[in-house]
């Protein structure tokens, strides 16, 4: 029996729970929120959709009752305030750090063996905070951001190519921020063909630029942070762990010498399986990519210093 807890029943958390439920990723899903009635109401609505869609996952919604989360294999933390138009992810650090620390303490008191997936922003720094406060082995703490950024990169590539999005491969590494992420245009492919041979430099640079402000663009449109892709991204990472998929997904991981960095959580390709992050994949970056990664790492270190 597999069990996933999603902490935070806002748009992202509820979407994650809905993907877990209707794709039958876990046997049991717990949706927890601090606000009375929100998780219960959304759970009831989702379970009624499950009756229509044929999902048989058990799901419960609770208000601040961490005892219901006991024995979770994976915990997804989405808690915190979302971005508003014009805000950076980094500006959320003050409020969200306290929330994430409290949630982590409560989660681990009930599920000490869980793998934790962090979605809360600023995501790299919140992932680092969980490492620092929990003392868990580094493989059991995963920041979701790279999975989301890479899906956005694939989307913009597919639009530029007029291609099926599922036949496009693209990866984003670096910090989960509008100026710190690094879409690896050199390594992007369409059915194995380098995208650089299919798009001119101007078109490819536009794809990169659109990817980097992908979250801000949606926040401007919606008036708040996006939720469908972030929720699906968290559920995808959870599935890779629960089902021991041995899948390579870019995630924020604690580095210990990889890519020339230490004591830093930042987006890198990770092999995900039952143990969480089972291996960090070191790409053979060229000089330009190494320089971009170093600048990104410096920016994330600076945000971490605010903790």
Other C-beta atoms closer than 10 Å to the C-beta of 298 total: 13
- Residues 12 and 234: beta-carbon distance below 8 Å: yes
Distance CA 132, CA 109 (A): 16
Count CA atoms within 13 Å of residue 2 on its CB side. Answer: 19
301 included as an active-site residue: no
Q: Find the largest Cα–Cα distance for the chain.
A: 55
DSSP letter, residue 81: P
> What sections of the chain are H helices per DSSP?
11-22, 38-53, 93-110, 123-134, 145-161, 201-212, 214-222, 228-242, 287-305
Given strand 193-194, what is the order of strands in its sheet?
Answer: 168-169, 189-190, 193-194
Q: Can you tell me the distance from the alpha carbon of 42 to that of 19, in angstroms, rounded to the nearest whole number?
A: 13
Q: What are phi and psi of 70, to 5 degrees?
A: -55, 135
SS3 268: strand
Write down the catalytic residue from 131, 176, 243, 301. Answer: 176
The alpha carbon of residue 121 and the mean position of all alpha carbons in its chain are separated, in whole angstroms, by 10
- Non-local (6+) Cβ contacts of 94 within 8 A are 306
Task: Just list the catalytic residues.
Answer: 176
């Amino acid at each position: 029996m597999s069990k996933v807890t999603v902490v935070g029943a806002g748009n992202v958390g509820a979407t994650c729970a809905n993907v877990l439920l209707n794709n039958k990723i876990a046997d049991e899903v717990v949706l927890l929120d601090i606000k009375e009635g929100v998780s219960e109401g959304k759970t009831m609505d989702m379970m009624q959709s499950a009756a229509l869609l044929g999902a048989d996952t058990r799901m419960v919604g609770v208000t601040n009752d961490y005892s219901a989360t006991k024995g979770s294999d994976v915990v997804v933390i989405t808690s915190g305030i979302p971005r508003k138009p014009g805000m950076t992810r980094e500006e959320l650090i003050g409020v969200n750090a306290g929330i994430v620390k409290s949630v982590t303490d409560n989660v681990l008191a009930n599920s000490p063996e869980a793998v934790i997936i962090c979605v809360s922003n600023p995501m790299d720094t919140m992932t680092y905070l969980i490492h620092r406060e929990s003392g868990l082995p580094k493989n059991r703490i995963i920041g979701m951001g790279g999975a989301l950024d890479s899906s956005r990169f694939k989307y913009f590539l597919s639009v530029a190519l007029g291609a099926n999005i599922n036949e496009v491969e693209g990866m984003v590494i670096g910090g989960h921020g509008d100026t710190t992420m690094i879409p690896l245009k050199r390594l992007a492919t369409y059915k194995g063909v380098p995208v650089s041979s299919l798009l001119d430099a101007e078109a490819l640079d536009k794809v990169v630029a659109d990817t980097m402000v992908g979250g801000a663009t949606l926040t401007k449109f919606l008036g708040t942070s996006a939720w469908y892709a972030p929720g699906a991204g968290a559920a995808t990472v959870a599935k890779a762990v629960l089902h021991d998929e041995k899948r390579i997904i870019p995630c924020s991981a604690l580095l210990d010498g990889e890519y020339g960095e230490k004591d830093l959580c930042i987006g890198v390709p990770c092999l995900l399986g039952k143990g969480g992050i089972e291996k960090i994949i070191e790409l053979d970056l060229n000089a330009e990519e190494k320089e971009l990664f170093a600048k990104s790492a410096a920016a994330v270190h600076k945000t971490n210093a605010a903790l």
